[in-house]
Chains A and B, each alone.
Chain A
Amino acid sequence: MGAVLTNPLRVGLRQERVIPPQCLVIFGASGDLTHRKLVPALFELFRQRRLPSEFAVLGCARRPWSDEEFRRKMAEAMASEVAEHRVAWEQFAAGLFYEPVDLEDPPSVVRLGQRLEGIDRLRATRGNRTFYLSVSPNFYGSGCRSLAAAGLLSDPSRSRIVIEKPFGRDYGSAQELNRVVQTCAQENQIFRIDHYLGKETVQNILVMRFANTIFEPIWNRNYISSVQITAAETVGVEERAGYYESSGALRDMVQNHLTQMLALTTMEAPGRFDPESMRNEKAKVLQAARLANEDEPWKCCVRGQYGSGGSSTRPITGYRHEPGVNPESTTETYVAMKLFINNWRWQGVPFYLRTGKRLPKRLSEVVLTFREAPVHLFDAAGGAPTPNQLILRIQPNEGAEFKFEVKAPGSGMRSRPVDMAFSYDDSFGEPSDEGYVRLLADAMLGDPTLYTRSDEVEAAWRLYTPLLELIEDAPSRLPVYPYEARTWGPAASDNLLAADGLAWRRP
């Protein structure tokens, strides 16, 4: 959200819970995520005075940095913030430490335990620890094992472990990873990240649905005819080709982020807003979700890959020519699909999901289309009346929009659609927390509401298993259609909806 003038009366008003004394241990402290997201988010929390004074960050990776080197690297990586808040940074950096640790080398993890005891004494962090695995997914399992073997996870009230995405690469590997981490720690110690859940407007789906009475009565198959969920990116694969080549859009975006948006949009109201009730409902609805055509999954899914595009002055490279990408790659950068949810609320309502890179706009939204009026009393300006739509905009221009018909001005009784819009920016004008600020704070508070539970992750993977198997076994049945960069994906994706007499919303 665009930062506008801040509201001077808002300062210090947030009623956030305060994080208890603890040491946050980051594995992969020399990696990209740590200096780009994690440490900036922690510094933000520090400046918001949401960290207790009994707090420390211990960075760990294999390279032999010193505390001082770690502090310097972090300061360099966030030079402009540090320059702007020099005094605060000095105070914050005094709580940054570094310990060389190889997660695959048990003795070094045992040394880590000793170092942590030293930090407990120095910073009064009282043996409370949050371990953050910001390392390659290959180390999630072995990392948990080494921590457990060193006794660092033995007290569930004092230690927890945060696991980055991706959690597994299919149903089987996710199950296996769950099995491993659950032998090392209890489920309530395990925090699986989904970055979308950190976004304020994703959380707002819940508040809109369950803090108002006007939406819930019509939030079902009797009133809603179809739902579209879109997460569009304008960027290409950037520097992540190595990872992306083996993942693709289905794994990278759909299984986690789009599925979370789907779950929040469709779940039943929990009895109360506590982590387990929330996650029970999400898991339940995901378990009821199915591909529209499980036996012939190629009929309900379209894959695409961006080709070159742009203009002669600003050409855009096609995916296969991006650095690090196999010139014959069949990795999808676009995927669209149709799902159903087999329960009382949603039976028969089609859900269309799509995501892609190099699309014309960066945006995420959920669009609920309502049924048509049973009788058309009035001529519509556009031929037929436009069905009512409720659009929940996740990013950018966060907010909600409602489309309905009104009388077109002039004589006669013609109708035309109008928009009623709510915008976070106009109403609050405040940039919201970056996802990591919220997610890190929640993990350190021990609040798993915005983290995914083992059954949710598994249900999400299982949902897409027919597609993943098809891609593995008979990729030709699910061809990767090329699309021009900066267009809305391959034509086959439009056909997927056209077959149902629908069209993607052009945002």
Chain B
Amino acid sequence: MSTQLTLQAPLALPPDQVPGYLERLWDQSLGSSPGAATFTLVVWEGSWLEQQLVRCGRLDGPITGFLNEKVLEAARAAAASCGLPLSTAPMDPKLAWAIGQLGGNHHAEDQRGQFVEGAISAHMPRRLITLAPTLDGSQPLETLVAAYCPLPEEGAGSSACGDVVVLRGSTGALHQNLDLVQPLIAPDLPCWVWWNSSLDEAPEVMAALATGARRLVVDSSLGDPRRCLNLLVERITAGQPINDLNWLRLRSWRESLAMVFDPPSRRDALNHVVQLDIDVEGSNPVKGLLLAAWLADRLGWQLISTYAVDGDGVGDGIGAEFERSDGETVRFRQMPVPVGVPKTHPGAILGLRLICQSSQGSPLCVILCSESGGCMRLESGGMASMELAEEVVPLPNESEEMEVARLLSGGHDSTNPLLAAAAPLAAKLLP
């Protein structure tokens, strides 16, 4: 989907004039518009990678906040020159940090928050508030305001207008001015808070924004694994609706695995799993653990123990033992694997192997491989005597905005129960 420009060029206003201006905007210019009775979307748009790449001259501006091919290419190239392992994913916060150590002082126009992705505008947000922290730690707060009316897609119904508010400045300046944001969030409409950045940064800002029944969207692949998983668990325990893009990206893996067991003749094998192996890219274990935890929860396994396993120089793997409901043991291993061209987010899954051994018949070995790379490690090792079911898992090719738009389409007013069950278990799996 195309990105849509705001209706007018955004207007820079002193922060204290923003609420009054917005009121007048609705009374006068947008008087005839019904005003979408939808939701408010608040985005913390770190974009550190893009900002750093621009600053050191490895990427031309403007800064948009969108993760496009150019940003990814520049990031992959930078990883090598920063001396980071090839397996470092472009979105790994370590990469943005390492680029931050490179010299350069280029500037580009900062357009974050001034464009609305078509997939998101299709849901007609009533208000889009973007918090755009800058690299310059002394930058004072600037505010920009605009109205926008999405162009209705051909054949779609009528659309309603909304407005866009951008708050730009250093993290400190944004934090100090958060009380400006609160009154801009309509109390009677749902509010989504999308933390489009590492979960390690600005915890005090997140705490202030993502309160109560606001629907939080995070990405648990970005940040320290333990902190990410703990954050999921805390919010789930507190009853706050939380959505994790890292979890959502597991969809094609879950779908492919479910497909293997669709034929009723295969169902019984699920009661006889003895071994689960997962290979992940690089050293971030979170996505793999969420997948393992989901499977364990679905199949009713109890976690017995968990421990670190020696990896081959890429970092430690994780081992665990589960107990099935019939008392038998399931062995779990998750290993980090070095790759040449990592996927965008840290810890992408490369392959999964499930071995099912019932008392009758020959054992069943299910192998799922990522479309982009083979999974030779999982294919080797004495499976000749087993019935083999191998599937290739397609790579979903969706932008973050599309994923978020899918959430905005409604119904995600509470945490997905599968994630609510998997996240605490994944946290326990981390040794």
Instruction: Identify the A interface with B (CB < 8 A).
Output: 4-5, 7-13, 15, 17-21, 49-54, 126-127, 156-157, 188, 274, 276, 425-430, 446
Contact = CB atoms under 8 A, between A and B. Distances in A.
B10 to A, nearest CB: 28
Nearest to A128: B37
Contacts of B409: 17-18
A127 B34 CA distance: 12
Nearest to B418: A12
A13 B258 contact: yes
Contacts of B412: 18
B270 interface: yes
Given A18-B410, A18-B411, A21-B410, A427 B267 contact: no
Contacts of A429: 262-264, 267
19 contacts: A7-B261, A9-B257, A10-B258, A13-B258, A17-B409, A18-B409, A21-B410, A49-B417, A52-B410, A54-B413, A156-B158, A157-B158, A188-B157, A274-B155, A276-B155, A425-B264, A428-B263, A429-B262, A430-B262
Main SS of the interface on chain A?
Answer: loop
A53 B413 contact: yes
Contacts of A276: 155
Interface in B187-224: none
Contacts of A427: 262-263
Contact of A9 (B158, B258, B416): B258
B188 to A, nearest CB: 8
Given A5-B267, A429-B267, A10 B262 contact: yes
Given A8-B298, A9-B257, A126-B37, 9 more contacts: A4-B264, A7-B262, A7-B267, A12-B417, A18-B410, A19-B410, A19-B411, A21-B410, A156-B158
Given A8-B298, A429-B267, A446-B157, A20 B261 contact: no
A274 B156 CA distance: 11
A12 B416 contact: yes
Contacts of B410: 18-21, 52
Nearest to B123: A20
A428 to B, nearest CB: 5
A52 B157 contact: no
B255 interface: yes
Interface in B394-426: 409-414, 416-418
A13 B270 contact: no
B388 interface: no
B227 interface: no
A425 B267 CA distance: 13
Contacts of A274: 155
Interface residues of B, number: 28
Nearest to B257: A9
Given A4-B264, A18-B412, A430-B262, A9 B270 contact: yes
B70 interface: no
Contacts of A11: 298, 418
Contacts of B411: 18-19, 49-52
B331 interface: no
Contact of B157 (A126, A127, A157): A157
Nearest to A15: B251
Contact of B270 (A8, A17, A18, A157): A8
Contact of A13 (B158, B255, B264, B265): B255
Contacts of B389: none
Contacts of A19: 410-411
A430 B155 CA distance: 35
A9 B261 contact: yes
A430 B265 CA distance: 12
B106 to A, nearest CB: 42
A418 B411 CA distance: 48
A9 B37 contact: no
B107 interface: no
A19 to B, nearest CB: 7
Contacts of A54: 413
Contacts of A446: 157
B24 interface: no
B383 interface: no
A95 B178 CA distance: 37
A54 B410 CA distance: 10
B79 to A, nearest CB: 33
B299 interface: yes
A-B pairs, 8 with minimum CB distance: A18-B411, A429-B264, A9-B258, A4-B264, A18-B410, A157-B157, A8-B298, A12-B418
Most B CB within 10 A of own CB, among A10, A274, A446: A10
A427 to B, nearest CB: 6
A256 B258 CA distance: 36
Contacts of B158: 156-157
Contacts of A430: 262
Interface in B296-343: 298-299
A9 B254 contact: yes
A17 to B, nearest CB: 6
Contacts of A126: 37
Contact of B267 (A4, A21, A53): A4
B123 to A, nearest CB: 10
Nearest to B298: A8
A10 B416 CA distance: 14
Interface in B218-266: 251, 254-255, 257-258, 261-265
A39 B155 CA distance: 31
B178 to A, nearest CB: 26
Nearest to A189: B157
B271 to A, nearest CB: 10
Contacts of A17: 409
Contact of B413 (A7, A52, A157): A52
Most A CB within 10 A of own CB, among B254, B265, B270, B411: B411
Contacts of B417: 12, 49
Contacts of B416: 12
A8 B262 contact: no
B254 A13 contact: yes
A218 B263 CA distance: 30
A56 B248 CA distance: 29
A49 B254 CA distance: 19
Contacts of A53: 413-414
Interface in B152-186: 155, 157-158
A95 to B, nearest CB: 14
